[in-house]
Chains A and B, each alone.
Chain A
Amino acid sequence: DAKTTQPNSMESNEEEPVHLPCNHSTISGTDYIHWYRQLPSQGPEYVIHGLTSNVNNRMASLAIAEDRKSSTLILHRATLRDAAVYYCILRDRYSGGGADGLTFGKGTHLIIQP
């Protein structure tokens, strides 16, 4: 899977929007962009994924650059419960039909200030 680069940490205030960037300059045309997050002492949680178009769900929005070399996870109104490590992961759509495990990088540690 192609590599991703994320800032080590980010800080935001409660009830404000948060934009978490991810660079993936070597992304291939068949790579999906996935985001997971891990709250302290818990297993990771799926957040969102996309291929080319921007995506929205109840948790977040995913904005994908036109050249797909970067993406941004948007939390529209951060709460204290959003404090977690956020991982941006690329997955080849033909990667064993999704049968391969995930390769986690270091992610971004999001700190939310009250």
Chain B
Amino acid sequence: GAVVSQHPSRVICKSGTSVKIECRSLDFQATTMFWYRQFPKQSLMLMATSNEGSKATYEQGVEKDKFLINHASLTLSTLTVTSAHPEDSSFYICSARLSKGTYEQYFGPGTRLTVT
């Protein structure tokens, strides 16, 4: 149980285009999902918290107009990188909480974005 999937696993796009990444909780409902970014040889950095049916909460320094997050259902959150640039190339990882009262998070396998 508690499986989180991401699609696509890898994507290459041209500079200036937009890319959508999907995060799904496969066997549970997630009212809260999180998006992280990881650059090579670095640790994960929280980008935003995605709450079902409401606006996402972004961490300081993360541009909300560039990284659009939609959490339209209890099993799906999407991250759209708009007008991507080479510096947006990174490993994007989502996670979801199982339920209230438990504190562990379950992570997706990540999406490797390369902007050329």
Residues of A within 8 A of B (CB): 32, 34, 38, 41-46, 49, 87, 91, 93, 97-107
Contact = CB atoms under 8 A, between A and B. Distances in A.
Q: Is the interface of A mostly helix, strand, loop or mixed?
A: loop
Contact of B106 (A34, A46, A99, A107): A46
Contact of B110 (A42, A93, A101): A42
Nearest to A98: B103
Contacts of A45: 107
Interface size grouping (class) on chain B: 20 to 34
B102 A107 contact: no
Contacts of A46: 104-107
A97 B104 CA distance: 11
Contact of B93 (A32, A34, A44, A106): A44
Given A44-B44, A100-B49, A101-B46, A93 B93 contact: no
B77 to A, nearest CB: 13
A106 B93 CA distance: 17
A43 B95 contact: yes
Interface in B55-113: 59, 91, 93-95, 97, 100-110, 112
Which one of B46, B59, B107 has the greatest number of beta carbons of chain A within 10 Å? B107
